Amino acid sequence: MSDGFSLDPRLAGDTVLVADGPLSQLRLMDDARFPWLVLVPRLPGAEEWLDLDGDAQRLLLAEINLAGRALRALGPVHKLNIGALGNIVRQLHVHVVARREGDAAWPGPVWGSGPAQRYDATAREDLLARLRDRVAG
Amino acid sequence: MSDGFSLDPRLAGDTVLVADGPLSQLRLMDDARFPWLVLVPRLPGAEEWLDLDGDAQRLLLAEINLAGRALRALGPVHKLNIGALGNIVRQLHVHVVARREGDAAWPGPVWGSGPAQRYDATAREDLLARLRDRVAG
């Protein structure tokens, strides 16, 4: 159930919905520089991983695994980066990012690495279709 | 058991051991700018969270919770930052960082935020003692 859940407007503007998982919305960061997924638990008021109960933590862990496998299915991944920061957007969200040596922020973090480069519409729809196939499978 | 485990030399140089958890070494980042713990699973060759088996993932999750609670016990935390990056040091390690509004990197990430400011020896020993009390409790 998602009574009272609403997506932070900044997350809504920066990402697009891929699919709903058991706990979280799985969203694609609209930044063609990095294959980058974001999990947003549909829990009103959740800000800290630490404050989730054990069941929610385990569901989120399973969704992180799913997101990482979906990214690996897209192409070579030299390193997965997983992060829950929330210094700017307080609504709990977990980043799962496929990093490649020489990408736009390598070897630094993607956070704070400059403005997003939006996908063109065709590339975004193609990527969303591939991700949806993968997470439904 | 830790047969074959050895700590990456860069992690060894940047951090000091707080305590051994069931899976991981709990280490303090020697950077007085941020209360910052690092968990290093004693699993030879481990690089990706995704490649841990389910038991190891659950142990690591419990240790992340413990680390976060230990940081909260030290003083006010405006946001916990949790991250597994590994772009530079490939040995699997998870950062758990207590962020405060206005800290040296706020609201950006701590990774890539410039050189560490080492604790003086007295402050480090005091902090280690408080952390050890907390994680043993």
ipTM: 0.95
State whether residue B74 sits within 8 Å of chain A by CB: no
**What percent of chain A lies above the pLDDT cut of 90?**
96
3-class DSSP state of A6 = coil
Q: How far apart are CA B5 and CA B21, in angstroms?
A: 14
State whether residue A104 sits within 8 Å of chain B by CB: no
Distance from CA of B60 to the nearest CA of A (A): 11
At B1 the pLDDT is: 52
CB contact under 8 A, B84 and A84: no
pLDDT digits (tens, 9 = 90+) for A32-79: 999 999 999 999 999 999 999 999 999 999 999 999 999 999 999 999
Q: What is the mean pLDDT of residues A19-39?
A: 98
Q: Which two tokens stand for residue A95?
A: 């980043």
Reported as a pLDDT band with limits 50, 70 and 90, residue B89 is very high
Please list the residues that pair with A40 across neighbouring strands.
A25
At A35 the pLDDT is: 98
Q: Which two tokens stand for residue B74?
A: 């030290």
Closest CA to A47 of A88, A102, A105: A88
Q: How far apart are CA B19 and CA B6, in angstroms?
A: 16
pLDDT digits (tens, 9 = 90+) for B17-69: 999 999 999 999 999 999 999 999 999 999 999 999 999 999 999 999 999 99
Domains and CATH numbers, chain A: 9-136 (3.30.428.10)
